[in-house]
């Protein structure tokens, strides 16, 4: 029987897809040495998601500008790249959020290593990005809140004062 979709998720992920770099990078890390909680499974209770799986989800989100735990949960359920990366595991948003909370320092260390590796392999472009972080005090009182009608009325007042 012929199917419209490939039988394996591996067929969806091209050989040059960035998720393959993420997988290779994370699989080579010593998660215990970096300080990830749960890298060594407990002898009792239900087994937790392995930190490497959670880190793959988080790093995928980092690369694709997905910060929300709820969005990462949705992507893990429907995105072929992320399904391939996690082996079709789809933790819920609370587990993703708890992983981020419990392993913040270790995640920052891994992200730093990943950025250094990408720079070393020349995977980043040479574009310069500047972000304006200016902050201004907002004034939201009725006298300074202009609608289209108020602007038209003010223009009439200015024109009338000019004619005098």
Q: Is residue 155 part of a domain?
A: no
pLDDT at 3 over 60: no
pLDDT at 128 over 70: no
Q: Is residue 128 part of a domain?
A: no
Q: Is residue 152 part of a domain?
A: no
Token digits of residue 152: 């038209």
Burial status of residue 106 (CB atoms within 10 A of its CB: 0-12, 13-18, 19 or more): buried
The span from the CA of 37 to the CA of 54, in Å, is: 11
User: Nearest to residue 35, comparing CAs of 91, 110, 93, 98?
Assistant: 110
Total domains, the chain: 1
Q: Is residue 55 part of a domain?
A: yes
pLDDT at 149 over 90: no
The span from the CA of 110 to the CA of 93, in Å, is: 21
Domain, as residue range, for 49: 9-120
- Would you say the pTM of this structure is higher than 0.85? no
In whole numbers, what is the pLDDT of the chain averaged over residues? 84
Token digits of residue 9: 């998720």
**What's the sign of the alpha-carbon dihedral 52, 82, 123, 24?**
positive
Q: What is the pLDDT of residues 37-87, one digit of tens each?
A: 877 777 777 778 899 999 999 999 988 999 999 999 999 999 999 999 999
Burial status of residue 102 (CB atoms within 10 A of its CB: 0-12, 13-18, 19 or more): middle
């Amino acid at each position: 029987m012929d199917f419209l979709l490939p039988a394996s998720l591996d067929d969806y992920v091209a050989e040059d897809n960035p998720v393959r770099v993420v997988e290779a990078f994370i699989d080579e890390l010593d998660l215990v040495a970096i300080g990830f909680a749960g890298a060594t499974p407990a002898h009792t209770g239900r087994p937790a998601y392995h930190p490497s799986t959670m880190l793959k989800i988080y790093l995928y989100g980092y690369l694709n500008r997905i910060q929300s735990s709820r969005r990462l949960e949705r992507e893990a359920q429907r995105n072929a790249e992320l399904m391939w990366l996690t082996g079709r595991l789809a933790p819920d948003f609370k587990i993703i959020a708890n992983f981020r909370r419990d392993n913040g320092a270790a995640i920052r260390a891994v992200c730093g290593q990943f950025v250094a590796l990408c720079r070393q392999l020349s995977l980043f472009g040479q574009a310069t990005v500047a972000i304006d972080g200016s902050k201004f005090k907002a004034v939201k009182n009725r006298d300074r809140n202009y609608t289209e009608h108020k602007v038209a009325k003010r223009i009439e007042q200015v024109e009338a004062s000019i004619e005098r």
